[in-house]
Chain A
């Protein structure tokens, strides 16, 4: 199907925005939207066109815990349910206190690193201070013998996929290693080219959350050059699970 035909895209976008697509077709349109500016523009135009229709829906008061959960997940204290006016008056303290904790934690870690150089890299200082790993997607790819070969990770709302090659991969000269996402019930789509050894990072077309939330598996194939959306992969030489780290 030629998705670049404007009238077809417009009709699909209308059905996507109105919500009549089943799950599989909907996810396909979302992937198309993530990589095609024309598909994104068609959907955005329908969203803008129909937004006013939602305004007749009666509002529903959220339960008090909803703001606390949002506040906590975006780095706030998560305990303050005061109205905005009150909150802005004490707002300075609500972020200053955790920040103080963070600074002390980092200082403590820095002191530790000075005593034990090379033990930690900078991201670890932050993790150490927070006490938990950030919300991330993580993939571990193995070869046909089951040996762990590539570790891929990205923060949940980030666009950078960090790649660590755990054991060097044999690639014929002039070929590249392409990393693929294998979505549930959909066609594989390329994420980017990964190195044959060492570490690298891949800039993705959208955030991990957008691209990977429906992707249970990742795979690597050998290709003649970088793959484009819509390309089909050659055979996979590495595969593995993609999991949410939260």
Chain B
């Protein structure tokens, strides 16, 4: 988003059916939205499907964007993340198979991209809440990052970390309370 167009203005024009604004919104946001979907789904064609569905829904729902939903990119990210998580959860995967498959697939991504904890730290740097983030216990931080960037469920997280699911749930709940305070400080 080098030129950083006025996304709220584009959404307002899209609500009136302006196709060229729709294309500009796509050019400005599709790469970052695809990045988000791809990290969750780890499959390019499924991630592109999710981004496609999201933009088709934005074309008809642009009028429903409200500033209370955060910045336009936040609203768009929420649409894409929700669809990506829905798609991820709708897979009927055999748990035993999925563990090994997931490890391999994530390894591929991690070879060339920052790991989830790295992404969380970078985001905290950008929001100037790094110090606050670092007061959160390591395993809690790890859970937050695995959930947000990779869409791992409680049980997947427990398998990934080799920890009991009960501990994972507690870490995550405490982590969510703490990161909420950090994020509110960022505003």
Contacts and interface: CB of A to CB of B under 8 A. Distances in A.
Interface of A: 11, 14-15, 17-23, 26, 30, 44, 47-63, 66-67, 69-71, 73-74, 76, 83-84, 87-88, 91, 94-95, 157, 209
Interface string B52-88: 1001110111000000111101110110010001100
Contacts of B180: 14, 49
Contacts, number: 160
B30 interface: yes
B20 A47 contact: no
A58 B35 contact: yes
A47 B69 contact: yes
Given A20-B153, A66-B51, A91-B20, A60 B147 contact: no
In terms of DSSP, what is the predominant structure of the interface of chain A? helix
Q: 8 tightest A-B contacts by CB?
A: A51-B74, A48-B70, A23-B89, A59-B31, A88-B20, A47-B78, A56-B122, A56-B123
10 contacts: A11-B176, A21-B153, A22-B153, A26-B86, A47-B77, A47-B78, A49-B183, A53-B123, A66-B34, A67-B30
B89 A69 contact: no
In terms of DSSP, what is the predominant structure of the interface of chain B? helix
Contacts of B119: 53, 56-57
Given A55-B126, A57-B119, A87 B153 contact: no
A91 B59 CA distance: 16
B181 to A, nearest CB: 11
Contacts of A26: 85-86, 89
Interface of B: 19-20, 22-24, 26-27, 30-32, 34-36, 38-40, 44, 47-48, 51-52, 55-57, 59-61, 68-71, 73-75, 77-78, 81, 85-86, 89-90, 113-114, 119-120, 122-123, 126-127, 144, 147-149, 151-155, 157, 172-173, 176, 180, 183-184, 186
A74 B60 CA distance: 8
Most buried by B among A55, A57, A70, A95: A57
B52 A73 contact: yes
A186 to B, nearest CB: 13
Nearest to A67: B26
